[in-house]
Structures are given as structure tokens and as C-alpha cells.
Structure 1
């Protein structure tokens, strides 16, 4: 299966630092200038990519006031689905300038398409990868259509059970996707950390054999940083300029300084994992001399028998290791020895 994928030249997988995606979502709040600034700040924070969403209200839902289409609870209560997506969508005419701006800055930009026409638009912009949103993970025809582009694909798995994830993966592979990743996700906005059950991540890695990441909707970075120790290769977080901005997703998004901390701390966590290594580390070399070793604590003459009251285990570490104490006791000194002299093989007869 897939143990590494590549997006815009960046290797993503177990042997590389986590790939950090700043999800713009609806946080531009209908202002293209804000969208440009979000891209600026994502780049400045150290994110690998910024992601947008490509839909229009009429491509994602129906314009209806019937009960099925009413949102009755949560962040967006009181709106219809059509109203929400009209408010939240990224206008299609923004896509080309946003892509051009990201390219100019040197940060990868890609998107979540929500229907085939969105895929066609993104293909015209030569998008380097696709993300399937959690709510679309059951849309197997959409997944197959995305797969047919031959681009890398990331599938978010919020709300999907193990069988549904397997079906999405199968659809992607059958559709021709060669570089596939899945994200463990909880589709709550925000989601409590205790819902994340991060021990699911190693099971996903073993079960599906794919590059695996985390789409994190908690309010801080703890869950994301913890996930690094469990093997994630991708971390996605919603990103905004101002959490109190009043937009659809602002309230559960990271602000610029928090994204910078996420980028820094996840990479530090990944570096700290390292490999299995019981050897002495470079940072320890200078402190070896402060370990305990054997020292003479009394003056003794050549030929005197070394006894327990003439030798002690103390710091520093220039003498023989304390493990040799019993072998030294009862031996004879080979020379006159002053107190506070390190015990060495030359100071006694073997």
C-alpha cells in the first residue's frame, strides 16, 4: 500500500516531519483581502499548505426551507443549509487569484471539491492534490472522479466507521489513485479532546496500510502534538486571523501565533521520537565526567592491601567504574598513592 505520498515535491510519510495544513475554510468571511492575509499568515507560521473549499451553495445542497434543510442546533442553528453555504463558500472567481498568490509566496495550495464541477475547476488550475471532506467520504462516485485525475488524495474520516473508510479507500484505489492518505477525524465543531481516541491512529495505519494523519477540531494544539507520537504524518487545523471574527468557522480555528506554535511543536515532537537508540547521545558527551567512579580516599603505600575504607564511589567519572569495586578490594597497590587519586588499572596488581 502507500507508505509515502508527495504533494508539490514534499515527501509525506513516516520518515518525514508532519505535513501541516492550514484549513482556511470559510474564515475569509467573504473578503478576498482576508483570504490573501490568511495565506500570508499560514506561510509565516511555517505551514506546508493552505487549503480552501470549492463549492457553491447549489452544488452542495438544495435551496429549501423544508425541515430536512433546517439547522436546529450547534454553531449554525437557525439557518438553512443553503443559507449557511451561501455565507461560507469561497467564490469560484477567487480561486485563480488565490492560487497565483500562494504560488508567488511559495506555499502549496489545494482544495476540497464537493462535486465534479469543482474538480473540473481545480484541474484547470493544476491543483497539486485533493482533500475529500469527512461529510463527503461516503460519496464514492466523487472519490472515484477525483481519483481519475491521478493526483494525490487525502480522505478525512469523521463520522465514518471502519467499513465506510474501507469503502472510500477501495473507491479511491479502483478509480486510479496511486498516492492516498487518510485522516482520523471527529466532525464536531469544536470537538472535545476525549472524543478523539487517538489510539485509533496506529490501528488505522495497520488496518489500511496508508499514510495516516489527523484532522483536529479541538480548540488547542495538545491533541495534534500528541498524535505525532502515535504515527501521524499529516495534521490539519482550521486557521483564522481572529477567532472572534464572527465567521462560520472562526470560533474553533487557530490564530496565527497558535499555528506557528503547532508547526514548531509538532516538528519538535517528531524529532524527539527519533529511533531506537541506547547509545550515548552527543548532548551527553560533556557530562560523562560527572558520573560516579572509584577514587582512593586515603594515602596508601606501594604494596599496601586495598580495603573498603581506602576506596569509594564518588563523582567525577575519571576512575574505574564502581562495578569493579569488589574486584579491587584485597589487591595490592603498585605505587604510592595519594588520597583523591582516581583508581585505574595501573594502581593495583590484578
Structure 2
């Protein structure tokens, strides 16, 4: 099976040689309002993100309304809630999708979604989604991955909780079923995740193990983990978004507000630019600063034949004289001519 070092989504190349692809995840922070969802698309577009992502499911396609202990959440952000209740609140209705996709197209921003069953994949295919995102909890659902991959688009797969064998199985299943490339996202499936659990060095290790573009789905507060991941080679950054955390919403607590997300996009792309290459040459932008390096200057008037000493020669800025490394060579030597205070020292001035 062949692996692609980069993929392409809607004409944008994604891989180690390209600036990071930043995905703005709207999730369920629309709080049940299509108008708010559309406002979120506009606000997300204004951040400069590369793509907007939503989630495509209903409570009935992702779980069941069953009153058993395993269908309730114990601990964490959603403690005490049933899965059905949570997903009923957080889902983005299928009938909203066309309007949301259309608004993103109007704003010139790529949009795709996370499908959670085959009906969701079909809906997204009908809307022309250029990629599919597989959520971390679905990374072990190989039939779903196979069905989405058969649409012939790239897949982005979050790997939270997955071990190496499960990651490889998800990727290999997608490629074998026809996916046009796979990106694996390192992910910590806790909400919010702590910095201590982020372990973004995993990004570099995954890139070596899986020969695919690697990224980060970031649930930590703020932007630090995402920027660190870019420094570790992350090609994709995914982060949750809200208009205002104070407005509430199922994912609001670990989502960024518009100004914060704008900073995330800027900082991730600036971090990538700053990586550059390993080199030890003087850059063109540094050449003007060479003048202000230290060099040897005459610091007191010297008569011809008088010995140069630390009393009349010093290393100072600017850099027009001999390099400071030559100080010991010139000390004690006679001046070939009268030297004036403030002259840069040169070899033809030294006897």
C-alpha cells in the first residue's frame, strides 16, 4: 500500500512542506440556533482559518435513548447527562447543512464535516464535501471509515484513545477503500485536556511511524499546545470555536473565541515560517547589522612608532576595524603613522 506524504483538500496542499492547515471546529456551540450557526461561519471565516468543520449526526444515529448506566456520563464536563440528551442538544440538524455549507462557500472558506453514520456520509457527499473527518471515538469504526473513504475524498482521522495498531488499521482501511490520502491527528480525548496530557512530541513520532501527514486535534486551553505541535511538525491543527464562552454550549469550555482563534491561526502560521532550515550563514537581512559588531579601534591618539596598548586600542562597536580576535597580535606593535582617536584599526597601520 502506498502512502502520500501530502494530501490536497479543495486545491490546498497539506503536508510537511506547506504551512499548517487550521480547521475551525464549530461543533455544537450553535446552541440550537441556525442563525447563530451562520454567524459562527462568518466569524470563523474572519479568523483566517483554512477550513470550517461541523458534525453530522442525530441523537438517534449516534446512540440510543436507553436508561442504563453505560448510557450516562460519569465525571468531567458533562457529568450526569445521558448520551442521548447531550447529543440531542449538540447535534447540527441535517436540514441546516445546506445553508451552512452555502454560507461557507459565500465566504470563500472550505467546509466539511465529521459523519457518524452512512446517512451522514451520503448527505455530505450530496453537498460536495471535499474531505471527511473521522472523530476519535469513531476511529475504530472501520465500516464507517470504509464507507466514507469509498467517496474518493481525503480522510482526516483523530486518533484519541487509539493504539498504534488501531491507528494503522484506520489509515490502511481508508486507503484501501479509496480515500485520496489520510491525515492522522494526535488527539487527547478528554474535554478539556490538560497541558500535561498533551504530549505533542507524539506528532513527530507518528510522522516517523505512519509516513502520512500528521496533525493535532487540540482540546487544551489556549493556543500553546497547537503552536508547540506546529514546531513538532504538525501539518494540521483542529481547534473548537465559539462566539463567546459565556454564552454556554456543550463544547464552549474548551473552545476559542474569535479574537483567540485569529491569534491561533496567526501564531501557528508564524511558528511554521520561523522553523525555516538549519543554517549558519549570515542572512541577507542581517548584513546591515554586521556594521555594529565589535572591532578594534584607536581609542587615544598614537604617535608614529609608539607601541599599541590597551590604553590606546580597544574592542568596541562598530565593526569597521580588525576583528577583536587580533587584539593580542597588535598589542606591543609600533604604529606605522600617527593614529587619531576614533580610527578603525587596520593592518597597514601596524608596524
Same fold (TM over 0.5): yes
| From 14, 20, 24, the counterpart of 2:26 | 24
Segment drifting more, 144-153 vs 123-132: 144-153
Q: Which runs of 4+ in 1 moved over 4 A?
A: none
Q: Secondary structure at the match of 1:244?
A: helix
Q: Deviations over 1:38-65 (max 9, x none)?
A: 1111111111111001112221112222
Query: Does 2:64 align with 1:53?
Result: no
Q: Secondary structure at the match of 1:50?
A: strand
Counterpart for residue 126 of structure 1: 128
Counterpart for residue 104 of structure 2: 102
1:324–1:26 CA distance, 2 compared to 1 (3 A): same
Query: Does 2:80 align with 1:66?
Result: no
Rounded Cα–Cα distance in structure 2 between residues aligned with 1:326 and 1:150? 72
Q: Deviations over 1:294-331 (max 9, x none)?
A: 11233334455544544221222110101122333454
Q: Deviations over 1:251-300 (max 9, x none)?
A: 22111111011111111211211111222234433332221111123333
| From 166, 169, 174, the counterpart of 1:172 | 174
Q: Secondary structure at the match of 1:163?
A: helix
Segment drifting more, 226-235 vs 304-313: 304-313
Rounded Cα–Cα distance in structure 2 between residues aligned with 1:109 and 1:206? 29
Rounded Cα–Cα distance in structure 1 between residues aligned with 2:277 and 2:242? 35
Query: Does 2:188 align with 1:148?
Result: no
Q: Deviations over 1:146-194 (max 9, x none)?
A: 1111111100001111121111111112112232101010011111111
| From 269, 277, 280, the counterpart of 1:278 | 280
Query: Does 2:180 align with 1:189?
Result: no
Rounded Cα–Cα distance in structure 2 between residues aligned with 1:328 and 1:107? 66
Counterpart for residue 295 of structure 1: 297
Counterpart for residue 137 of structure 2: 135
CA deviation after TM superposition for structure 1 residue 340, in Å = 2.2
Count of aligned pairs: 349
Rounded Cα–Cα distance in structure 1 between residues aligned with 2:70 and 2:342? 86
Rounded Cα–Cα distance in structure 1 between residues aligned with 2:290 and 2:63? 67
Counterpart for residue 230 of structure 1: 232
Counterpart for residue 7 of structure 1: 9
| Structure 2: gaps (5+ residues) | none
Rounded Cα–Cα distance in structure 1 between residues aligned with 2:208 and 2:308? 60
Rounded Cα–Cα distance in structure 2 between residues aligned with 1:224 and 1:52? 20
Counterpart for residue 261 of structure 1: 263
Q: TM-score, normalised by structure 1?
A: 0.95
| From 304, 310, 313, the counterpart of 1:311 | 313
Rounded Cα–Cα distance in structure 2 between residues aligned with 1:45 and 1:15? 23
CA deviation after TM superposition for structure 1 residue 108, in Å = 0.8
Rounded Cα–Cα distance in structure 2 between residues aligned with 1:326 and 1:93? 82
Counterpart for residue 40 of structure 2: 38
Question: What's the RMSD between the two structures over aligned residues?
Answer: 1.7
Rounded Cα–Cα distance in structure 2 between residues aligned with 1:294 and 1:246? 65
